[in-house]
Amino acid sequence: MSSRVRVRFAPSPTGPLHIGGVRTALYNYLFAKRNRGTFILRIEDTDQTRYVPGAEDFIFEALDWCGLIPEEGPANGGPYAPYRQSERKDIYQKYADQLLESGNAYIAFDTPEELQEMRQRIKSEGNPSPQYDSITRQYMKNSLMLPQDEVKSRLANGEPYVFRLKMPRNEEIKFEDLIRGWVSFHSNQLDDKVLMKADGLPTYHLANIVDDHLMEISHVIRGEEWLPSTPLHVMLYRAFGWEMPHFAHLPLILRPDGNGKLSKRDGDRLGFPVFPINWTDPETGEKSTGFREMGFAKEAFLNMLVMLGWNPGTDQEIFSMDELVRTFSIERVGKSGSKFDFDKAKWFNQQYIKRMDDAELADAVLPRVQAAGYKADRKFVAEVCRLLKERVHFINEIVTEGKYFFEPVSTYDEKTVNKKWKPELRESFVEIGKLFGSLNSYSAEEAEQQVKGLVEQKQLKLGDVMPLLRVMLTGTTAGPPLFEMAALLGKDEVVRRIEKFLTSINE
């Protein structure tokens, strides 16, 4: 194994990449950058029966949006190419043969029916967890139990077979995990896993170990769901006589109530995304909204994710990517699962939107403005962003909550109109409209001074006039400072909207 830090994110294209997978990629990326190492993407697609069309492209697009760009991978190649396991299938047979020759693996001819019969028999004997192991292999059709002449005959006749790892009996298997410390398993609890399938393709376990070795992976940082497989991987490293990488198994991202692993069903039920970007199921056509399309800034999304399991040891919560690279360490990743809190996720996004430069934010908002059918230039959108970014949780809300900047007002807040409007106010608002129209050097400060002066002259209450003026200009009672908003709309548009309201209220 190389002394250099080399880590890999190795997803399977069996469905859309969940935020738990993105977090695994993020931790690998940060660990590599912190240690001046290499971040690698490898697609583990040996299980073709579970391959989902579009899932691999989804992985590429999601990582690209997050800015987690690998130095080596299927898209950009590298010294250990190819980085897609289905393109490496010719590599694995010789390693399976090597295990067979060393006595660490054997050939099994058992049919699916025979395997099922074995499982049923063991269950009937009171064991609820039947497995093909050091005891049951003695009663099955494999190269350890059959006469060698029969083994050769079956092979010559082209009978289907698999390679299985020969798991030793009565042995403790220990390894040190960078997050969990020393972890121990007993070999009697483990089965003789299939390493090569009847179709000649390796299983995940063999391909994973061989590829990690050949690609000189120094640290395997992955989800805790792979922890039960690690003793098998340890035994494979031993069988090959290879140096093991360092292991680190990340805690789960839990449901908001802490009861179990976060899933798509939880997002559907509670109304939040669990995928980084939009996903359309190729079989059902069902659409799932992603964090990107909901209006999350990628920096906020990553900041939120990194805190689901990692603790910087300080009160700081907002980190730039550069700060994360300098600060992140595997040692500060916790063992326990972290509850996903969508309100906290929105808070992170709100903080990033507030901190974004108006022009930078406009670049993200302008395509959404155009997609909604509005016409506006970048400078105008940047000003809208300036006024609204303190008030929104999502980038999209700058368009939806601020639609009155882009289209005429068509409806008015009924509660405010019913409470505040009096026919005797009409003449005062006619004068306010004329006042706006007569302003020469139009600014928020001048408009506010002139309107408030007129209200005082008319002996009216600001609490009656201002809410109505806001409703006339926006249709709603919430929004940015009234006169700054009016200044951005422009005096001609302000006059039109006041006149339109007065006409509609008369009708």
458 catalytic? Reply is no
Sheet with 194-196, edge to edge strand ranges: 105-108, 162-165, 194-196
Question: Which of 364, 176, 212, 345 lies closest to 273 in space, CA to CA?
Answer: 345
Say which residue the tokens 């991978």 belong to.
Answer: 73
Question: Which of 349, 339, 259 lies closest to 304 in space, CA to CA?
Answer: 349
458 burial class (0-12, 13-18, 19+ CB within 10 angstroms)?
A: middle
**Neighbouring residues of 193: CB distance < 8 A, sequence distance ≥ 6:** 164, 165, 167, 203, 205, 232
**Nearest 10 degrees: Cα torsion 115, 120, 122, 125:** -160
Q: What is the distance between the alpha carbons of residues 111 and 105, in angstroms, rounded to a whole number?
A: 18
- Say how far residue 373 (Cα) sits from the centre of its chain: 29
Cα 429 to Cα 201, 422, 436, 496, distances in angstroms:
79, 11, 10, 12
> Looking only at Cα atoms, what is the longest distance across the chain?
112
DSSP assignments along 177-200, one per residue:
ETTTEEEEEEGGG----EEE-TTS
For 121, which DSSP code? H
Using DSSP's 3-state secondary structure scheme, residue 293 falls into: helix
Question: Which of 335, 325, 173, 361 lies closest to 248 in space, CA to CA?
Answer: 335
Q: Position 46: which residue type?
A: T
For 313, which DSSP code? S
Q: Position 65: which residue type?
A: W
Catalytic site residue from 264, 344, 458, 500: 264
Tokens of 37: 């190492």
DSSP assignments along 340-385, one per residue:
--HHHHHHHHHHHHHHS-HHHHHHHHHHHHHHTT----HHHHHHHH
CA angle 257, 261, 267 (to 5 degrees): 70
Neighbour tally for 451: CB within 10 Å: 22
Using DSSP's 3-state secondary structure scheme, residue 181 falls into: strand
Which are the catalytic amino acids?
A: 264
